[in-house]
Amino acid sequence: MDSFILQVTTGLANGGIYAAVGLALVMIHQSTHHINFAQGEMATFSTFICWALIQRGVPYWVAFVITMVVSFVAGVLIQRIFLKPVEKAPILTNVIVFIGLLVIFNAFAGWIFEHTIKAFPSPFPVEGMFLPQYFSGHQIGSIAVTLVVLISVFCFFRFTPLGLAMRAAAFNPDSARLVGIRVSWMLALGWGMAALIGAVAGMMIAPIVFLDPNMMAGILLYGFAAALLGGIDNPWGAVLGGIILGVLENILGAYVIGSDLKLTMALILIVSILIFRPYGLFGKPIFSRV
């Protein structure tokens, strides 16, 4: 029984990371209706920046905050420079741009920081602050951090005028302009926020899986699945989806399939769910008039 609970708690902790990545994807999708395939590589790059700062003696939380800010600014710049020219282009052209960015970030990460695996510190105590027999300190810490990020994001979109404007710009850019919203900048903001959230996710997962340029590849997929599972425009859904996914992956891996196929099985399960609930578990279908 104990080992079952351990699987669940590990699943919860991992799920929190998937949730954060899923959240970043939902963020960009809400504002631009695109999935940022480069999200994982951007997060990895941000994590490398944090690592480099810590190596130079910057205290952890200072490096953490600096990385968040740098990532935010970088996200905004990337949207302005690379995504704006293809704003009106078909979806697949945008997909190519995302793939291009993905490849470039990965290449630069490898070039600047090399491919050797690095250890990344955790700011949390080794022993869990809460239910130490089931949760390590880092697991509790990363769940807490993810919760803080999530709640901030939710409140931002739900309760602030800027958040409302961003949602409006995503749903109907023409009407948004007619109420005075600077749609282009809303998109840039969405990217900045997504980059920031991605960076947080990267910094939380790095202590567990160790830091190398390909760190986020599998995790991005989980994040994507989490976002879809929850309904692509639903931040809460992404979080719930991430947690469900984390737990599912671990339980399946331990009791049903064995680690080789757990990724496959988790994904097949998601696809099956999507067949019955094409808009995700909590998504709302958007009706379009012909």
Partner 1 sequence: MSALTKNLSLLVGAIALCALPFLVEDFRVFQINLVLIYAIAILGLNILTGFGGQISLGHGAFYAVGAYTSAILITQLGMSSYLTLPIAGLVCFLLGVLMGFPALRLAGHYLALATFALAIATPQLLKYKPIEHYTGGVQGLVLEKPMPPFELTIFGNELSEDRWLYFVILIVGIFLFWIANNLLSGRVGRAIVAIRDQPTAAAALGVNLTFIKTATFGLSAAYTGIAGALSALAVAYIAPDSFPSFLSISLLVGVVVGGLGSIPGAIFGALFIQFVPNVADQISKSAPWAVYGAMLLALAYAAPNGVMGIVNKFIKRRQT
Partner 2 sequence: MKLLDVANLNAWYGPNQVLFDLNFELKVGGITTILGANGAGKTTTLRAVCQMVQTSGSITFVDKRIDGKLTEDIVRVGIAHVPDGRGTFTALTVEENMKLGAYTRKDRHEVQADIERMYGRFPRLKERYRQQAGTLSGGEQQMLAISRALMLRPRLLLLDEPSFGLAPLVVKEIFEIMREISRVDQVSMLLVEQNATLALNLADHAYLLETGKIVLSGSSADIKADESIRRVYLGY
Residues contributing to the site for partner 1 (CB under 8 A): 29, 35, 82, 85-86, 89-97, 99-104, 106-108, 110-111, 221, 224-225, 228, 232, 260-261, 263-264, 267-268, 270-271, 274-275, 278, 290
By the rule CB under 8 A, 165 interacts with partner 2:
yes
By the rule CB under 8 A, 90 interacts with partner 2:
no
List, in order, residues 6 or more apart from 46 with CB less than 8 Å away. Answer: 67, 70, 71, 74, 195, 198, 199, 202, 203
What number of CA atoms fall less than 13 Å from residue 92's CA on the CB side? Answer: 0
CB-nearer residue toward partner 1: 141 or 235: 235
By the rule CB under 8 A, 287 interacts with partner 2:
yes
- Phi first, then psi: give them for residue 118, nearest 5 degrees: -120, 150
Contacted entry of partner 2, partner 1, none for residue 270, CB cut-off 5 to 8 Å set by kind = partner 1
What number of CA atoms fall less than 13 Å from residue 150's CA on the CB side? Answer: 24
CB-nearer residue toward partner 2: 99 or 179: 179
CB-nearer residue toward partner 1: 63 or 238: 238
Name residue 56's amino acid.
R
Contacted entry of partner 1, partner 2, none for residue 35, CB cut-off 5 to 8 Å set by kind = partner 1
Helix and strand counts by DSSP (H, E) for the chain = 11, 0
Contacted entry of partner 1, partner 2, none for residue 97, CB cut-off 5 to 8 Å set by kind = partner 1
Instruction: Give the footprint of partner 2 on residues 179-218 (CB under 8 A).
Output: 179-183
For partner 2 (CB under 8 A), the number of binding residues is: 20
Helix (H, G, I), strand (E, B) or coil at 211: strand
Whole-angstrom distance, CA of residue 75 vs CA of residue 42: 9
Name the minimum Å distance from CB 190 to partner 2: 16
| Region label for 105, one of left (φ > 0), alpha (ψ between -120 and 50) or beta (otherwise) | alpha
List the structure tokens of 134: 């089931």
Whole-angstrom distance, CA of residue 282 vs CA of residue 279: 7
CB-nearer residue toward partner 1: 209 or 221: 221
Residues lying near partner 2 in the complex (CB under 8 A): 161, 164-165, 167-168, 171-172, 174-183, 284, 286-287
